Chains A and B, each alone.
Chain A
Amino acid sequence: MTPDLIVFLALGLVAVGAAVGMLLSRNAVYSALFLILNFATMAVFYLVLGAPFIAMVQVTVYAGAIMVLFLFVIMLLGAEHLERHTSVDWQKPVAVLLGLGLLGMVGYLLVSGQVTLGTITTPEQGYGSPLEIGRALFTEYLLPFEITSVLLLAAMVGAIVITRRDAPNRKKR
């Protein structure tokens, strides 16, 4: 048991536990908080894996901005609880079974050794630093980077249009 493995297992357990907690919570607010925990552990994983910039973004954008948005919407709509509803009865067991099947297959792949994957080595100094990421973004990936700005703008406009109360096409109703 190397320290690395101990860290991994501990963080992995927290991540999986947070995910399961999110799934099982009746209250949507709890689910959101569990997910934030999950995202935080992810950020730690990123740090461990030599991606400090991504870890930083994970915390600020995901765990911060996005999840705050989720909580905000939950509270706005007052949708923490949902009364039980008739739906397709066999949906839940089938979904769990299929999920287990998927996990089984991935596990089989990993155990049987059909695929060989590399091992994680110590990265060189400065790997994954914001400096390198920035250099890559503004040289090699300049065009996709600029396109994301257009994407974000479109998303913003879309969100405003969709949620606008007095949209012209709704007036007719």
Chain B
Amino acid sequence: MLLSETTNPGGVFSLVPWIVFFPVIGLLINLLFGKRLGEKFIGTVASLASGAAFAVSAALFFALQANHGHPVVVPFLEWIHIGDLAIDWAFRVDTLSVTMMLVVSGIGTLIHIYAAGYMHYDVQYKEDPASYVRFFIYLNLFIAMMMILISGDNYLMLFVGWEGVGLCSFLLIGFWFNRSPDGTPGTGNSYAAKKAFIANRVGDFGFLMAIFTTFWVTHSLQFDEVFHHFEEGLVPEWAIWAIALFMLLGVTGKSAQIPLYVWLPDAMAGPTPVSALIHAATMVTAGVYLITRSAPVFSAIPEVQGVVATIGAVTALFAATIAVGQFDIKKVLAYSTVSQLGFMVAAVGMGAYAAGMFHLVTHAFFKALLFLGSGSVILAVERGHHPIGEDAHGHDHHDDHHGHDDHGHAFDPQDMRNMGGLRHKIPWTFWTYMMGTLALAGIPIWAGFFSKDEILTDALHFSLPIYIILTLAAFLTAFYMGRQVWLVFFGEPRSHGAEAAKESPRAMLIPLVVLAALSVLGGFMNFPTTHQFGHWLEYTLGHFYHATQFNANVALGSTAFALAAIYLSWLVYGQKPRQTVKEADPLEKALPGIFEGMQAKWWLDDIYEEAIIKPYQRLAAFLADVVDWRFWHDWFHERVLRDGFFGLTRFLANPVDLGVIDGIANGLARAAQGSAAALSILQTGFVRNYALWVFVGVVLILGTLIFR
């Protein structure tokens, strides 16, 4: 039912439901007609749906500017009204949500375009062309869900989107559900999807508890009403702690922070556009968005902020160290994403909401770029290794689709050791990738420099240890990105695939170029002297916003660290490039134990395996074998219920049924028999005798009538 009594915000703002409708329309078209239409049509529809959402977001952006940044709530549906629980489906248009909308739909559209090209090859390598349309249905569904997440006016709507993107993440990680991450048939991808889903469940449990507690304390889930309670100090301290920490648990799940980050690297099992869109640019930043949105909650107690900032900072450093030890090009980027999300969480934890959001936006640019670039690299190597139809080398591998490298192992086009010297083979990809690398490394004028610098400056004001941790993480960031670039693009090709690598089609390169431009220029939207982005967010954040003063020392220091790290990486990897695939990593010799740890992800997955999963499985086995099977089934069901029931039935059947019930029935029968035999004497068979009895009756009745 449409709300009729609410004020119509009018004009452009009433368009806001279309940010959800357009992707839904796109997915419906593809769902209903996609099977019959070609790949071009499917890709175009999906991209247009996302692009239309971007157009609406842009229109909302300008409308909001014209509205001087005042938030607008557009009611849409009455949703849940039970008792004093009143939750409406309402869209919130303010500077924060519009920023997120622009990022999601803008980058989403670029990635749709990119995916239209990328998936064309991917479905052929996976030998399942029919899945092409499925991919874009999921992708559009994700855009719709993400839009619900960021445009909701209450925590429950946010939660709907939160779960929706979790679902899409699950579906897309497990997109090639019948294969393993290395492309061979298996269940690895499904396992990764399951892992992501379960890790997120843990986080979602926290988020749900936060929502429940919020409603318990404030009797509302609507943002303005909830925050009013917090700002007026009407919420008891324990509740703030509970809500903030539960919410933080949700954030660690969705935004891949310690301790729940483990799912994100495995999520690279999904197709690369998914990694770019969901697991780098948009969905994983939902946690950052949540904290920013809930600024009044987290800012209420400084200690809470400390907890959040510490978790973010530790994650940033921890993940950065792991990224150094990875050989999978996407795994490096995955841990980099975890690390950068740590930066953002640390920033919003410190109260530097604008800095966190700023980094979110720039990170969305350059990390999407890097992932798309890595996808282009992977595809180039794969096409070089095993061309589809268009290349003379194809006949070598007709029998075995995935082919083998020279050493007899399954060829992994994502392994950086198989690459090398790609800068000449795929120049467009190389140059755009460089833009992303420099932005991530934090080299001045590139976008990452400004946003990271702002976070570091705030960290210095907030707490020195966190500043040091983050600086170290930034140093490692530059180092592992340098390592990656040297390994992938420089040196000599180390495999047949890298040798014959081919540049990707234009549909993939255009988004790369656009994102490269954004990665270079994105930083200027919050240039340290003007703080336009910050002021833009100030309309929403209010007094939680503070402009971060440019600190020349911090900027120079971080730049120096970044340059030093890149130089160091050149010393290790660039100066004397790796020659063969099998060769050990130079760091392995220099830092034997440490590199091993980095490569093994500090054994955290193994620790989880041993400490949580194995005991959990043992508990499950115990519950299944002992509690369920032996106790419930064997003992309770079989012994108590079944045998008891049998005993009861035997009792009921023999003494009760045969004795009592049958006794009654037989007794009745025998009584009837006896009385019948007795009465049968009366039936003489003589008609006159019967007539006599009739006459007796007549006389008796007449007699009673006369003499009564």
Contacts and interface: CB of A to CB of B under 8 A. Distances in A.
A and B touch in the complex (CB under 8 A): yes
Interface of A: 87-88, 91, 94-95, 98, 101-102, 105, 108-109, 114
Interface of B: 684, 686, 688-689, 692, 695-696, 698-699, 702-703, 706
A109 B698 CA distance: 16
B703 A105 contact: yes
Given A88-B689, A105-B703, A105-B706, 14 more contacts: A87-B688, A88-B684, A91-B688, A91-B692, A95-B695, A98-B692, A98-B695, A98-B696, A98-B699, A101-B699, A101-B703, A102-B702, A105-B699, A114-B706
B206 to A, nearest CB: 94
A152 B707 CA distance: 41
What does DSSP make chain A's interface, helix, strand, loop or mixed?
A: helix
Contacts of A109: 706
What does DSSP make chain B's interface, helix, strand, loop or mixed?
A: helix
Contact of A91 (B689, B698, B702, B706): B689
Given A87-B686, A102-B699, A95 B692 contact: yes
A101 B703 CA distance: 9
Contacts of A105: 699, 702-703, 706
A173 to B, nearest CB: 21
A6 to B, nearest CB: 31
Contacts of A88: 684, 686, 688-689
Nearest to B698: A102
A65 B706 CA distance: 39
A88 B686 CA distance: 8
17 contacts: A87-B686, A88-B688, A88-B689, A91-B686, A91-B689, A91-B692, A95-B695, A98-B696, A98-B699, A101-B699, A102-B698, A102-B702, A105-B699, A105-B702, A105-B706, A108-B706, A114-B706
A109 to B, nearest CB: 6
Nearest to B691: A95
Nearest to A95: B692
Nearest to A97: B699
A101 B704 CA distance: 13
A102 B705 CA distance: 12
Contacts of A95: 692, 695
Contact of A94 (B692, B698, B706): B692
A114 B706 CA distance: 9
A82 to B, nearest CB: 13
A102 B696 CA distance: 10
B650 to A, nearest CB: 55
Nearest to A87: B686
8 nearest A-B residue pairs (beta carbon): A98-B699, A88-B689, A101-B699, A105-B706, A102-B699, A98-B695, A105-B702, A88-B684
Contacts of A98: 692, 695-696, 699
Contacts of B696: 94, 98
A109 B65 CA distance: 120
